[in-house]
A and B are shown apart, each in its own frame.
Chain A
Amino acid sequence: MALKILVTAKRVEDPESRIRVRPDGSGIVTEGVSYKMNPFDEIAVEEGLRLKESHGGEVIVASIGGDAAQIELRAALAMGADRGVLLRHDGPLDPVVVSSLLAKVVEQERPDLVLLGKQSIDDDQNQVGQYLAARLGLPQGTFASKQESLESEAEQKKQPGVKLAADGKRIRVMREVDGGLETLDLALPAVVTVDLRLNRPRFASLPGIMKAKKKELKDVPAASLGVDLTPRVIIRRLAEPALRQGGVKVADVDELLQKLHQQAKVL
């Protein structure tokens, strides 16, 4: 019943970094920006590890990018993933290209489950998991979450939110949808994208970091996989959003009510 799980680890700008647009609108200012694993992918890695710890199996982590992407792959290996695959590609990436490359990895590795972040926090597209599931003809469970809060006992015990059926052939996924939580049963193999409240990812331990250095990290040129790497989503211009002008400070509740009533006319 052991599960073979593929997870993704994209290298993105640290969400704590201040993102500014270059004056000519051609890109963002990269000086002074630090990088880390996409926070949604960290949750996917964590979920993969919890499933492996509950049911046995293997967690393989994939990333697409240049040399630097090895840092995020090593970070996932340090958390506990078993081996990594770097799809080496230095050009721009879009969900069409990324999902086509990941589909090749799935065809080679034949995992029971693919876990990805629901979106990466740089382009915020929220498409790759859905494209991947379509290309592979697999069922999809997007925005995986759970009923229990991140303060619950189940979370303290690091139980997986994605539940494997007793026969090992299906999983039960709870999805965050507008207005509630939806539960789906998916036949394996399946593609699941994870939302924020599925789990709280672990930190890598020092022994984990040491062990990660010796784990297998396969280096595969993306161009060798027979995928058309031409980007189909092309950014023509970037700008900073128009800032909303702040208004006034009011002294007390009476002044606030008076302003809302007479000036803003929303009461």
Chain B
Amino acid sequence: MTSVLIVAEQAGGQLKKSSQSAVGAGQQLAARTGGALHVALLGKGLGAAAERLAATGATVHVAEHDALAHGIAEAAAPVIAQIARACGAAYVGAAATSGGKDVLPRAAALLDAAMASEVLAFAGDGDQVLFRRPMWAGNVVADVELTTPVKAFTIRPTEFAPAAPAAAPGEVKAVAVRVDEAALGTRFVALDEVSSERPELTDARRIIAGGRGTRGDFKEIEALADTMGAAVGASRAATDAGFAPADWQVGQTGKVVAPELYIAAGISGAIQHLAGMKGSKVIVAINKDPDAPVFQVADYGLVGDLFKVLPELRAKLSSR
């Protein structure tokens, strides 16, 4: 039996968009290997997310427990392994979110599984699946074989279409969760969420991103973003310098985004930044340096000072 198990994530009872893509990847894999698709949903107060998942035709394993409320890897990994064993999973996957990257390798170790991270596509023939994934900061794409009986992976959500609805919904099953809370060495203390009126970077249709060229002044970037209903991003140079919060970073080591429109202002275009945004439908680059590498990937390049270009752009957009 070669079933496929996808670990989904929810927030406040809502299924995460990245998990829809992970289930989409699971559907591809199940179709190719002829296996059944299962989804695991762990947490507390899981709400409507289970029904959303069942609509994809997958069998949904719901694990509700206080100890799983904050996605603590030490508590969640054994539950994922338990579900994987129960459904005879040969493939165990998740989206490469901070939660997926944290828990899935730990679950993989418990299953004696080797793992491929940030998978872009499934390559190979038939049920000989090769995992296509980036290496060396996206400078290289590798086709990787996992030789263990159980194979684990995370997918890059921007590379997979969301799960298609099925003719008949799958079954929803409750998992009997046994967690010895006293034995856990991890204690959740707090989550400081960066609350923002703006859309989330990984979900946004439009992103305005700033780099070193802002010299620490993101006001024009933010003002244009608010005019356009866009999210704000930043290059690593800008977040390292403290110009912008860490969770604004777009790139290989930050967030990977694929909006309809990406405007890079004062960003030179290091390969590690390009790796995080080159999936965008339309890229605009605004930079004083006509030789900046970012112009090599931009659909539209404008050589100029962002502090002059952005206010003009904003004024003309507002008056349209």
Contacts and interface: CB of A to CB of B under 8 A. Distances in A.
Interface of A: 13, 15, 19, 21, 28, 94-96, 99, 121-127, 130-131, 133-135, 138-143, 145, 147, 149-152, 172, 175-187, 190, 196-197, 230-241, 243-244, 246-250, 252-254, 256-257, 259-260, 264, 266-267
Contacts of A141: 186
B136 A125 contact: no
B301 A266 contact: no
Most B-side CB within 10 Å, residue of A141, A175, A266:
A266
A264 B144 CA distance: 36
B92 to A, nearest CB: 13
Interface residues of B, number: 85
B137 A236 contact: no
Given A15-B137, A143-B98, A266-B261, A130 B302 contact: no
Contact of A256 (B99, B130, B194, B284): B284
Nearest to B78: A134
Given A250-B301, A250-B302, A253-B309, A178 B97 contact: yes
B147 A234 contact: yes
Contacts of A250: 300-302
Contacts of B72: 184
Contacts of A142: 73, 101-102
Interface of B, secondary structure class, is mixed
25 contacts: A95-B105, A121-B137, A124-B135, A125-B117, A130-B104, A130-B106, A133-B73, A143-B98, A152-B242, A176-B247, A183-B192, A232-B146, A232-B148, A233-B145, A236-B144, A237-B142, A241-B141, A246-B296, A246-B297, A246-B298, A247-B301, A249-B295, A257-B316, A260-B284, A264-B281
A234 B246 CA distance: 33
Interface stretch (B54-62, B82-90, B163-171, B233-241): B233-241
Contacts of A138: 185
Given A131-B108, A138-B185, A185-B189, A178 B143 contact: no
Interface string B183-211: 01111111111100000101000100000
Contact of A232 (B107, B147, B186): B147
